[in-house]
């Protein structure tokens, strides 16, 4: 968030690096100026099949509920800003088939609110419980769900980014390729890799 304005709400916690607020997030969002936030990262309550104590929305109401926040996200994000959302999947109640609510939400975010999908990522969490137990541990007709979808969305086609910040070291085979060069040839994929590769 730009430092040129103050939110007229008392921070719950504050340091020289920023402030944290304990409030209704929708109310707080509405207090922010247009085009004032560079990055929004959220992992909201998912559209789970069972009601949780924290008040998650059922799948049938989830996307409409989420869009009220997303409209504010779009308003406050800068033109080079990003909106990243982590969403877990859900099964259709009583059936061993998956809901497609996340994909329906993505389509609505892009078609109705004009977000662009910069890229999709997948959050792998192998420690998740094997649920729903009926399909995974009792009947054993499905495998444990260990992946969340992460959508990276933006207001324009060119959100600020730099993949040099997340590079990994070259593999041994890539080091060998760089050392020994590449023999120009047609790949099985149909790509014609020429001498220019070297």
- Residue among 43, 146, 176, 194 flagged as catalytic: 43
The verdict on whether 25 is a catalytic residue reads: no
Please say if 192 is a catalytic residue.
Answer: no
Closest C-alpha among 108, 87, 103, 107 to residue 43: 87
- Which contacts qualify for 22-31: CB closer than 8 Å, 24 or more apart? 25/69, 26/68, 26/69, 26/72, 29/69, 29/72, 29/73, 29/76, 30/72, 31/7
Q: Which candidate in 11, 44, 45, 130 is catalytic? A: 44
Task: Record the tokens describing residue 79, joined without a space.
Answer: 């033109």
The owner of tokens 């088939």 is 97
Q: Is the Cβ–Cβ distance between 68 and 61 less than 8 Å?
A: no
From the candidates 11, 86, 130, 161, which is the catalytic residue?
86
Nearest by Cα to 114 from 148, 157, 166: 157
- Is 80 among the catalytic positions? no
Which residues are the active-site residues? 43-44, 86
């Amino acid at each position: 968030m730009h430092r040129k304005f103050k939110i007229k709400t008392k921070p719950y916690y504050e340091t020289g690096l920023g402030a944290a607020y304990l409030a209704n997030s929708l109310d707080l969002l509405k207090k922010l100026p247009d085009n004032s936030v560079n990055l929004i990262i959220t992992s909201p309550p998912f559209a789970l099949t069972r009601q949780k104590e924290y008040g998650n929305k059922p799948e049938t109401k989830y996307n409409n509920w989420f869009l009220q926040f997303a409209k504010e996200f779009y308003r406050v994000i800068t033109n080079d800003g990003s909106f990243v959302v982590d969403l877990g999947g859900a099964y259709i109640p009583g059936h061993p088939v998956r809901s497609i609510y996340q994909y329906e939400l993505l389509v609505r975010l892009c078609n109705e609110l004009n977000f662009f999908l910069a890229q999709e990522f997948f959050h792998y969490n192998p420690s998740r419980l094997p649920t729903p137990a009926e399909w995974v541990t009792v009947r054993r007709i499905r495998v444990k769900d260990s992946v969340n979808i992460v959508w990276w969305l933006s207001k324009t086609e060119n959100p600020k980014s730099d993949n040099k910040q997340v590079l990994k070291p070259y593999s041994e085979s890539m080091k060998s390729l760089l050392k020994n060069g590449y023999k120009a040839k047609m790949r099985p994929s149909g790509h014609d890799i020429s001498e220019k590769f070297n």
